[in-house]
């Protein structure tokens, strides 16, 4: 079985990525701290912090041990991180009273504001500009993420100001963000399959540390946030 190609990535990009990647985790921890009922769920905040720390350590260790290095479809990074994390969110967390409580006490605008961390999509563009990712894929995925992040500011502001069109705007914005992350996930898998079959450039860079944190973390949590936004919209409309 062949191994992934370690495309050259300038060190400054890797260092910058490591500097900013904690931001999504910090935002999510602060989100839980603000909205969870501390009386009913006193362990929610420390549990969230511990989980994220352990998950990041697991990703780093698995990557450094070469667990993701073999060419496989679906990619090993998905099998060992993305899929289990998605199962944890959509099956385990979704069916807890903790999640129901959190969603109930969450203001819609705060769910929307969380997506500002998708500005990290700029790293898709940076990697593509240095020939470490296929350009069409990286530009569409990266620009889509950045657009979702930037527009989240204006959508949240419309909700805060109780504009008559706020809920409808949130609905369409949420669809756009969902389609963007689904495109990224599906396209990455298609490119992996094409790479195996034809030898064309794949998304191998996203299986190496530190960039393997992107597929391990972003698709499941972003889809879960969009799903939660749809549920919140349904609550507000009923």
pLDDT at 1: 53
70: phi then psi, degrees, rounded to nearest 5: -80, 140
Q: What is the mean pLDDT of residues 191-212?
A: 86
What is the 8-class DSSP label of residue 121? G
Model confidence at 71: pLDDT above 60: yes
- Which range, of 197-201, 202-206, 226-230, averages the lowest pLDDT? 197-201
pLDDT at 121: 94
pLDDT at 192: 84
Alpha-carbon dihedral sign for residues 27, 34, 107, 50? positive
Half-sphere exposure of 203 (CA within 13 A, CB side): 29
pLDDT in tens, 15-50: 999 999 999 999 999 999 888 776 577 788 889 999
SS3 string, 141-174, reads: HHHHHHHHHHHHHHHHHHHHCCCCCHHHHHHHHH
pLDDT at 221: 96
pLDDT in tens, 90-146: 999 999 888 988 898 889 999 999 999 999 999 999 999 999 999 999 999 999 999
DSSP-assigned states of every residue in 209-238: TTTTHHHHHHHHHHHHHHHHHHHHHHHHH-
Among 112, 116, 221, CA closest to 167: 112
Please give the Cα distance from 47 to 68 (Å, whole number): 27
The residue among 194 and 81 whose pLDDT is bigger is 81
């Amino acid at each position: 079985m062949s191994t992934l190609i370690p495309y050259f990535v300038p060190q400054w990009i890797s260092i910058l990525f490591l500097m900013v990647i904690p931001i999504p985790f910090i935002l999510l921890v602060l989100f839980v701290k603000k909205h969870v009922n501390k009386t009913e769920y006193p362990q929610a905040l420390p549990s969230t912090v511990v989980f994220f720390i352990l998950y990041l350590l697991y990703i780093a260790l698995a990557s450094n041990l070469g667990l993701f290095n073999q060419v496989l479809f679906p990619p090993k990074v998905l099998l060992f991180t993305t899929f289990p994390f998605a199962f944890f969110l959509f099956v385990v967390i979704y069916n807890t009273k903790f999640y129901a409580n959190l969603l109930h006490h969450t203001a819609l605008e705060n769910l929307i504001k969380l997506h500002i961390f998708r500005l990290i999509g700029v790293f898709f563009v940076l990697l593509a500009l240095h020939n470490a990712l296929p350009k069409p894929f990286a530009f569409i995925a990266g620009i889509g993420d950045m657009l979702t992040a930037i527009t989240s500011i204006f959508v949240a502001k419309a909700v805060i100001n109780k504009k008559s069109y706020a809920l409808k705007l949130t609905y369409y914005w949420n669809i756009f963000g969902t389609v963007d992350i689904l495109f990224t996930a599906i396209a990455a898998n298609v490119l992996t399959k094409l790479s195996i079959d034809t030898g064309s450039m794949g998304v191998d860079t996203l299986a190496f540390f530190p960039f393997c944190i992107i597929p391990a973390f972003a698709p499941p949590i972003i889809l879960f946030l969009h799903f939660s936004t749809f549920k919140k919209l349904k609550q507000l409309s009923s």
